Amino acid sequence: MTIFTRPILEINLQNLLANYKLLSELAPHSIPAAVVKDDAYGLGAEKVAEMLYAHTGCRHFFVAHGVEGAIVRNVAPEAEIYVLQGMGEDSLAEFQKHRLTPVVSCPQQLEFWKKHRIAGVRPLIHVETGLNRLGFRESELAALSAEDKKEFSFVMSHLACADEQGHFMNARQLETFRRLKDKYFPELPASLSASDGVFLGTEYQFDMVRLGAAIYGINTAPYRENHMQSLLALKAPVLQVEDLPEGSFVGYSATYRANSPRRIAIVSIGYGDGLPRSLSNVGKVFFKSNDKRAEARIIGRISMDNVICDVTGLNVGVGDWAYLLDENYTLDDMGRDAGTIAYEVVSRLGKNPRFDRRV
Amino acid sequence: MTIFTRPILEINLQNLLANYKLLSELAPHSIPAAVVKDDAYGLGAEKVAEMLYAHTGCRHFFVAHGVEGAIVRNVAPEAEIYVLQGMGEDSLAEFQKHRLTPVVSCPQQLEFWKKHRIAGVRPLIHVETGLNRLGFRESELAALSAEDKKEFSFVMSHLACADEQGHFMNARQLETFRRLKDKYFPELPASLSASDGVFLGTEYQFDMVRLGAAIYGINTAPYRENHMQSLLALKAPVLQVEDLPEGSFVGYSATYRANSPRRIAIVSIGYGDGLPRSLSNVGKVFFKSNDKRAEARIIGRISMDNVICDVTGLNVGVGDWAYLLDENYTLDDMGRDAGTIAYEVVSRLGKNPRFDRRV
């Protein structure tokens, strides 16, 4: 028996390439841009962008902030790097130094751009079609001069409900996007869909699709089976195994009570590692031996550094590995059990500095 | 008007010193150890430990993992650094190099220690008193030899319900701890309480208290008013302000519908920055001008990079700052609104690499 104390996060970037390829083939007439914002959803933007740039020919990347674009530029010297939150006083230097392309979302951002144009760069314009987040409203589009409209290289918008195939918002946003594009930017290439929109059909795909969550293995079309491959395995060592007498309480605030004698394992991972605390008394961990996979329920509150699980009847000992994520319990599963979505889970776990990361 | 795009996290370490001092005075006969695990709850263990070491004379630190201890050792050359998750094959090198002190929690960890003793280091022993997490059970204590018992420098345990003054578990754990200590380690100094236990009274304080959450401003005794000072201000810029016609939907899955005409602000921060997504349609942001403080409700789902809030009737424009945390809306408030606890909130926000951090 060996003692281990530290969780390990394994990231399989071969599966990233497979997912990117599969999605690209679903939109064969569109440029397949990669969304690597938020440090590639926590998985490491530098490595992810480098892999896509080198092995798939991807030459279009989306990030949220200028600082994120600078990281991508280091590994993608010839790519277009679009910055969704736009350009500001606090990011101008990065835009200039790294030739980043702002997504311009409102008249004030356009004014700022016109004061600080970057040679060789032509922004995207973001038009609002129903999400009511960033983007020009129609009254603002109508106020643009003919000169203003020539600033842009692309027109884009974003869908609100594309993960629900039959949602009325999809058709409504598609119709609005077509109408605004035809009226204000008839000559410009267009982009409407992220990963989820790709699955809605070719009419949603336009000239560029923005592939994010799905290339990281998340099911963005939950009404159909997931064909994306999981990139992540997360495991943590068992520090201690104990018999729990009937009537014992477990964890902070004593939220679990043993109603019969149980056997528990204390696993060295907690919400300090990015595990959602809302998995308390709800989530699951898995143990593997000889191809057999055993499931153990998380009991009591998850604490900063530990989770406790019920291993009654299982052959689990100190030094064994508990799997928090694997190919059979994915980000989507954990998101569901935690009452949130896979995107939030991966953004938290992926960026956690405490893991021993193995890419 | 200036355009900004990036959130700013301000960390006030003067308030850390004030909180540490106040808590130390509440336990005047105990060593006031500082708990700086999980990167000092996300606030930066190196800087936090350095401040405490230089300005308060703190010489006892607790971390969770060996890698965390190595960081503290760099700034606290003469301190005792205790590692709560213990020592393992995967952290042995750090223990040896940085003279870290393991907290030994089970017989297997004791065996491992006896194979890998470090000169000049004497471990703590963790005994289980009711939390049913890490720690020797009584049967395991009874099996220790007289020689084994001499390995240790301190005996510790941890309270499960110390944030509830009247909880029956407090008295039960105190009694168990006293009994086990007197029976198995009558000579050793002892530590039972973290921040929350300090407020339960002198009988809970023993020879060392482990001050964590409260020195970071969290109210660990929520049955009384918080006397700790907040360390954090978090603000993000408004990217866009728009009028929202009646009947419009906002955000993913259209979970908010405007039942009257509203005015909305799109703020450049999201769950990708560590903001809990469970604040969707529930949380608040604040705007400040001329000493006036205006409150705006978060509407729709929080997305990775943005939150949208209702600023109807407020004087808010592009480039203004929205406060997510300040001295009047603290980690405890956000934790409550998000359906979790301040500890999880700060651990996520604090470690986020996207912020412009100002310490």
Task: Pull the structure tokens for residue B62.
Answer: 């607790």
Enumerate the active-site residues of B.
Answer: 37, 252
pLDDT of residue B102: 98
Instruction: List the single best residue of A37, A43, A71, A85 to mutate versus B (max B Cβ within 10 A).
Output: A85
Instruction: Enumerate residues 6+ apart whose C-beta is below 8 A from A62.
Output: A33, A34, A35, A36, A37, A81, A82, A83, A84, A210, A212
A224 falls within a domain = no
pLDDT of residue A117: 98
Looking at the structure, tell me whether residues B205 and B235 fall in a common domain: no
Asked whether the predicted pLDDT for residue A357 surpasses 90, the reply is: no
* Domain end point (choices A193, A216, A239): A216
Looking at the structure, tell me whether residues B183 and B259 fall in a common domain: no
Looking at the structure, tell me whether residues A189 and A250 fall in a common domain: no
Give residue B291's pLDDT band: very low, low, confident or very high (50, 70, 90).
confident
Number of domains chain B is built from: 2
Among partner residues A106, A248, A274, which is closest to B318 by beta-carbon distance? A106
- The answer to whether residue A252 is catalytic is yes
Task: Pull the structure tokens for residue A318.
Answer: 């100190």
pLDDT of residue B357: 87
Number of residues in chain A: 359
Which pairing describes strands A31-35 and A208-211: parallel, antiparallel, or unpaired? parallel
B6 falls within a domain = no
A8 falls within a domain = no
Asked whether the predicted pLDDT for residue A186 surpasses 90, the reply is: yes
Q: What is the pLDDT of residues B221-238, one digit of tens each?
A: 999 888 899 999 999 999
Percent of chain A residues topping a pLDDT of 90: 94
Model pTM? Answer: 0.95
Name the residue range of residue B309's domain.
Answer: 230-358
Looking at the structure, tell me whether residues B126 and B200 fall in a common domain: yes
Cα–Cα distance for residue pair A23/A211, rounded to 1 Å = 8
* Domain end point (choices B216, B241, B276): B216
Instruction: Enumerate residues 6+ apart whose C-beta is below 8 A from B68.
Output: A354, B36, B37, B38, B39, B45, B83
Looking at the structure, tell me whether residues B162 and B21 fall in a common domain: yes
Asked whether the predicted pLDDT for residue B75 surpasses 80, the reply is: yes
Asked whether the predicted pLDDT for residue B353 surpasses 90, the reply is: no
CB within 8 Å: B308 and A132: yes
Asked whether the predicted pLDDT for residue A46 surpasses 80, the reply is: yes
Cα–Cα distance for residue pair B309/B3, rounded to 1 Å = 18
Looking at the structure, tell me whether residues A52 and A108 fall in a common domain: yes
pLDDT of residue A354: 85
Q: What is the pLDDT of residues A196-219, one digit of tens each?
A: 999 999 999 999 999 999 999 999
pLDDT of residue A134: 97
For every residue of B186-241, DSSP letters joined together read: TTS-EE--BHHHHTT-GGGT-SEEEE-GGGGT--S-TTS---SPP-EEEEEEEEEE
Distance in Å, alpha carbon of B349 to nearest chain A alpha carbon: 10
* Domain end point (choices A174, A193, A216): A216
A108 falls within a domain = yes
pLDDT of residue B354: 85
Which DSSP letter does residue A10 get?
E
Give residue A359's pLDDT band: very low, low, confident or very high (50, 70, 90).
confident
Distance in Å, alpha carbon of B213 to nearest chain A alpha carbon: 11
Q: Using an 8 Å Cβ cutoff, are A3 and B89 in contact?
A: yes
Asked whether the predicted pLDDT for residue A87 surpasses 90, the reply is: yes
CA A130 to chain centre: 22
pLDDT of residue A106: 97
A221 falls within a domain = no
pLDDT of residue B289: 86
Give residue A352's pLDDT band: very low, low, confident or very high (50, 70, 90).
confident
CB within 8 Å: A271 and B344: yes
* Mean pLDDT of the B104-116 span: 97
Name A61's bridge partners.
A34, A81
Percent of chain B residues topping a pLDDT of 90: 94
- Average pLDDT value for chain A: 96
Give residue B290's pLDDT band: very low, low, confident or very high (50, 70, 90).
confident
* Mean pLDDT of the A102-107 span: 98
Asked whether the predicted pLDDT for residue A347 surpasses 80, the reply is: yes
Looking at the structure, tell me whether residues A236 and A266 fall in a common domain: yes
| CATH number for the domain that contains residue A260 | 2.40.37.10
A125 falls within a domain = yes
pLDDT of residue B351: 86
Cα–Cα distance for residue pair A332/A214, rounded to 1 Å = 11
Q: Which amino acid appears at position A244 of this protein?
A: L
Looking at the structure, tell me whether residues A331 and A203 fall in a common domain: no
Task: Pull the structure tokens for residue A204.
Answer: 């949603």
CB within 8 Å: A304 and B343: yes
* Mean pLDDT of the A95-106 span: 98
| CATH number for the domain that contains residue B192 | 3.20.20.10
Looking at the structure, tell me whether residues B234 and B306 fall in a common domain: yes
Distance in Å, alpha carbon of B330 to nearest chain A alpha carbon: 19
pLDDT of residue A189: 98
Instruction: List the single best residue of B109, B242, B298 to mutate versus A (max A Cβ within 10 A).
Output: B242
B268: chain A residues, CB-CB within 8 Å:
85
Task: Pull the structure tokens for residue A222.
Answer: 């939950």
B79 falls within a domain = yes
Catalytic pick among A20, A21, A37, A149: A37
Asked whether the predicted pLDDT for residue A27 surpasses 90, the reply is: yes
Asked whether the predicted pLDDT for residue A289 surpasses 90, the reply is: no
Cα–Cα distance for residue pair A115/A112, rounded to 1 Å = 5
End-to-end CA distance of chain B: 26
Looking at the structure, tell me whether residues A81 and A19 fall in a common domain: yes
A96 falls within a domain = yes
Q: What is the pLDDT of residues B119-176, one digit of tens each?
A: 999 999 999 999 999 999 999 999 999 999 999 999 999 999 999 999 999 999 999 9
- The answer to whether residue A41 is catalytic is no
Looking at the structure, tell me whether residues A191 and A265 fall in a common domain: no
Distance in Å, alpha carbon of A91 to nearest chain B alpha carbon: 7
Asked whether the predicted pLDDT for residue A351 surpasses 90, the reply is: no
Looking at the structure, tell me whether residues A329 and A283 fall in a common domain: yes
Q: What is the pLDDT of residues B171-229, one digit of tens each?
A: 999 999 999 999 999 999 999 999 999 999 999 999 999 999 999 999 999 998 888 99
Instruction: Please give the residue of chain A at the shortest CA–CA distance from B243.
Output: A137
ipTM of the complex: 0.94
Q: Using an 8 Å Cβ cutoff, are A318 and A1 in contact?
A: yes
Cα–Cα distance for residue pair A156/A257, rounded to 1 Å = 53
* Mean pLDDT of the A155-179 span: 97
Among partner residues A133, A305, A308, which is closest to B266 by beta-carbon distance? A133
